[in-house]
């Protein structure tokens, strides 16, 4: 019995159908118009970047261009000298911003501080480098391990405190470099919530009375510790409004003025603010317009925040280190209106 013949589609016709299908799919993709998301789904923080001029308590007094690559950190010495760290150097400026010299270092310090005896402590990612008051390297302390990322240092007469963002802890050293204890680790029995550090920003600071304060960036606030690591007090201010701290982790930098008011720096909504000792917002030092808006920060393709550090001088002026612009912005308080 003869086989029944099969009616096959020619190969050339399959090719034509495949091309037609591809053209149709491409046309649909190019002409499809999807509905725009509703207002509730749009990410727009511009209303929160606007600041009432009446709340801006400071004015920009000076802007200093820095002859320094990749500025990363800032501190003001007891004699008024300004130190700005960057790639392979620490720039030494007088109180007016004039360059007096520079200290050679290897790499870029992530932070630096002066001790009461004039020694300089530089955070070199996983270790602390110690220099004498003239900038000569004296020694490097123990390496804190591959996960360490030292982002802030302060020192008093007996101790050096280093914020380690990688290990989410504050290390307390004696002035010889011996590690005494770790502060901020989660301990429910001591009512310590633990430091939440989603990104490499954690600051440690001393108030005018010598009290130790730590920014807990993931909890959007501050914690006050005793030297033995016990928690004395805390305050948090989550919120996108002007008096709060928004995002995953803020503030990123903070410093006390001589009257115990607290200057804070935020990323995302780039603003610098000042709080009274009772944690009430006093006003704004620098608005997003002065520092750079969220859109401008994204357009700069900078992984780091625009403001790399903040400090105050003996006149309680606020010094803001702007990384991408390689500038030091100096803000002074406006005279009160009569």
pLDDT in tens, 197-214: 999 999 999 999 999 999
Among 292, 299, 251, 303, CA closest to 275: 251
Q: What is the pLDDT of residue 90?
A: 98
Q: What is the pLDDT of residue 318?
A: 98
> Which pLDDT band, with edges at 50, 70 and 90, does 82 fall under?
very high
Q: Are residues 230 and 244 in the same domain?
A: no
- Model pLDDT for residues 251-264, shown as the tens digit of each residue: 999 999 999 999 99
Q: 114 and 186, same structural domain?
A: yes
Q: Does position 2 have pLDDT exceeding 80, yes or no?
A: no
- H or E stretch including 235? strand 231-236
CATH number at residue 133: 2.120.10.30
Q: What confidence tens digit (pLDDT) does each residue in 7-32 have?
A: 455 655 555 555 566 656 565 555 54
Q: Answer yes or no: do 215 and 246 share one domain.
A: no
Quote the number of domains for the chain: 2
Query: What mean pLDDT value characterizes the chain?
Result: 89
Report pLDDT for 266.
96
Instruction: Show which of 214, 236, 258 is a domain's final residue.
Output: 236
Residue 103 lies in a domain: no
| Per-residue tokens: 333 | 């308080």
- Is 162 part of any domain? yes
Picking from 295, 288, 250, the residue whose alpha carbon sits closest to that of residue 269 is 288
C-alpha–C-alpha distance, residues 239 and 270, integer Å: 14
Model pLDDT, residue 237 = 98
Which domain does 221 fall in, by range?
110-236
3-state SS, residue 315: coil
Global pTM value: 0.85
- Same domain for 114 and 231, yes or no, is yes
| Predicted confidence band of residue 301 (pLDDT cuts 50, 70, 90) | very low
* Cα 278-283-289 angle, rounded to 5 deg: 145
Q: Which of 236, 251, 268 is the last residue of a domain?
A: 236
Asked whether residue 87 is domain-assigned, the answer is: no
* Same-domain status, 181 and 264: no
pLDDT band per the 50, 70, 90 thresholds, residue 292: confident
Token pair in block for residue 279: 């944690």
- The pLDDT of residue 38 is above 90: no
Clarify whether residues 253 and 194 are in a common domain.
Answer: no
143 lies in the same domain as 225:
yes
Whether 250 and 223 share a structural domain: no
Which of these three, 236, 262, 277, is where a domain ends?
236
Whether 310 and 319 have beta carbons less than 8 Å apart is answered as yes
């Amino acid at each position: 019995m003869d086989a029944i013949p099969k009616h096959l589609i020619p190969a050339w016709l399959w090719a034509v159908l495949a091309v037609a299908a591809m053209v149709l799919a491409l046309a649909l993709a190019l002409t499809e118009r999807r509905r725009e998301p509703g207002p509730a789904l749009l990410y727009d923080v511009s209303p929160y970047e606007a600041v009432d001029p009446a709340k801006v308590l400071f004015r920009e007094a000076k802007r200093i261009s820095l002859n320094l690559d990749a500025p990363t950190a800032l501190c003001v010495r007891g004699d008024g000298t300004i130190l700005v760290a960057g790639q392979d150097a620490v720039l030494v400026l007088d109180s007016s911003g004039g360059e007096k010299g520079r200290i050679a270092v290897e790499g870029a310090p992530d932070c630096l501080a002066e001790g009461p005896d004039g020694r300089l402590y530089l955070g070199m990612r996983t270790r602390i480098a110690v220099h004498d008051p003239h900038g000569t390297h004296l020694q490097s302390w123990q390496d804190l391990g591959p996960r360490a990322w030292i982002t802030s240092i302060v020192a008093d007469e007996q101790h050096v405190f280093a914020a380690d963002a990688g290990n989410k802890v504050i290390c307390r050293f004696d002035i010889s470099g011996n590690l005494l204890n770790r502060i901020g680790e989660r301990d429910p029995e001591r009512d310590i919530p633990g430091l939440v550090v989603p990104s490499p920003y954690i600051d440690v600071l001393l108030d005018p009375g010598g009290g130790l304060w730590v920014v807990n960036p993931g909890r959007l606030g501050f914690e006050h510790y005793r030297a033995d690591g016990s928690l004395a007090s805390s305050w948090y201010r989550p919120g996108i409004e002007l008096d709060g701290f928004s995002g995953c982790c803020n503030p990123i930098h903070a410093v006390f003025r001589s009257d115990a008011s607290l200057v804070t720096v935020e990323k995302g909504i780039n603003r610098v603010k000042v709080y009274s000792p009772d944690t009430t917002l006093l006003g704004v030092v620098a608005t997003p317009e002065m520092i750079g808006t969220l859109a401008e920060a994204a357009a700069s393709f900078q992984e780091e925040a625009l403001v790399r550090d903040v400090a105050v001088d003996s006149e309680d002026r606020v010094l803001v280190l702007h990384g991408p612009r390689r500038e030091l912005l100096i803000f002074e308080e406006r005279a009160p209106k009569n």
